[in-house]
Amino acid sequence: MSIQLPPSAAPRSAYPVDLLPRTVRDRLLDLAQAATPVSAYLYDGAVAAERARELRTALPGWAAVYYAVKANSFPGVVAALAPHVDGFEVASRSELDLARGLTGTARVVAAGPAKSVPLLTALVRAGVEAINAESLLELHRISRIAVGEGTTARVALRVNPAAIPVTGSLHMGGVPSQFGVAEPDVPEVLRAAARLPGLDLVGFHVHAASGNLDAESHAAYLRWCLDWSVRTAWDNGVELRHVDIGGGIGVAFEDEKPFDVARFGELAGQAEPPPGVRVLLEPGRFLVADCGWYAAEVTDVKTSYGKRFVVLRGGINHFQLPTSWDIVHNIAVLPIERWPEGCPRPAAEDAEVTVVGELCTPEDTLLRDVRVDRVRAGDLVVFPNAGSYGWEFAMHAFLGHPVAERHLL
């Protein structure tokens, strides 16, 4: 059995500590004064709000931005985004309750490949803008629930297209998948949906993009989704009002070129939806990745057969992203001067180190072979760009260690 580890960072060096905003450094220094070892996320809601404003401003008026709550469901972050997005994309009852509790409205679309009857019932009762239906069976369930509730549910059919004729980092379409209805089966499913009494079929959900940093490619993807939806609706007698292209805007790491929001908005504006058709985007990671930092105290610095290890009070039980997504997620080292008198303080100086966690498995490795000027037991290792798929994505229960704290700046 192979062990999944993040790729080697060599020959990269750790970030300079002044890359961390002063507000982040000051809060972490305050946390380090407590007796409990630091293991925490810090979030800056203003950073997420600015990213949302930037995207919303760049897009034409017929486009709507719905934040994908799964990327970061911390209430303070979601509340900071609420005034600057058009709505929320949810995939569970808890996310639905969070979004509605913050807005008091049904500005919600719902996704997910295995929605339970209790979840579908909650979505129907909430009167959400659209339930992205994944299959014919799910359409039947939604209809039955809606009829029982004496209402009609707005649904969009999620489609797995046969091909997306654009370049860039586009995935999740044209291959066998648990997501959506395969394109060849769409006409038959639409005919069946038209006969179900509890449904108002408003359009389509086509989520086939992932991690795309190419603004021109993503604009072409948007236009393709719109053209495909208009054509398919016309061919199948659907009154098209809703086209959901999913998320998929990438986040730049290290020397990657960031997504050009202004260029994307300019090119997207060249599309012309029919009157009454609204195009939804569901960004998650793009809006919140750079609003968060994960920090953990160094509990030990060890050398084993010539290799140096920095051991943290945390790990994949708190921050699993680097291992699961096969990325180099670099760090900064924040020096902490307080240390018990007379206690040895192991350190690594001008050395290549591997950063590991507190779990009893070699898979608990967050960063390999990064060069540091100095790191000591008691210092804090800080991962920037940890605002998305961080706390929510971690293995909280494994070994039963305390979960990471979360703080809003």
List active site positions.
Answer: 360
Look-up of token digits 């393709």: 224
Using N-to-C axis directions, what is the helix angle for 45-58 and 261-268, rounded to 10°?
A: 30
- Residue tagged 């084993």 (tokens): 304
Report yes or no: 117 and 137 within 8 Å, Cβ to Cβ: no
How many angstroms separate the CA atoms of 220 and 51, rounded?
A: 22
**Which residues face 281 on adjacent strands?**
65
Beta strands in 239-291 (DSSP E): 242-244, 278-281
Q: What is the phi/psi pair of residue 14, to 5°?
A: -60, 155
The answer, yes or no, to whether the previous bond of 11 is cis (omega within 30 of 0) is: yes
From residue 72, give the alpha-carbon distance in Å to each of 48, 269, 409.
11, 29, 15
Contacts of residue 76, defined as CB under 8 A and 6 or more positions apart, other chains included, come to: 43, 45, 408
Cα within 13 Å of Cα(220), Cβ side: 13
The helix (run of H) or strand (run of E) holding residue 57 is helix 45-58
DSSP E strands in 138-213: the ranges are: 153-160, 181-182, 199-205
72 Cα distance to chain centroid: 7
- Which residues, 6+ apart, have CB-to-CB distance to 18 below 8 Å? none
How far CA 148 is from CA of 106, 127, 151, 196, 200, in Å, comes to 20, 14, 8, 13, 15
- Both tokens assigned to 80: 């900071």
Note the maximum CA span of the chain.
80
Residue among 385, 341, 351, 291 nearest 48 (CA): 291
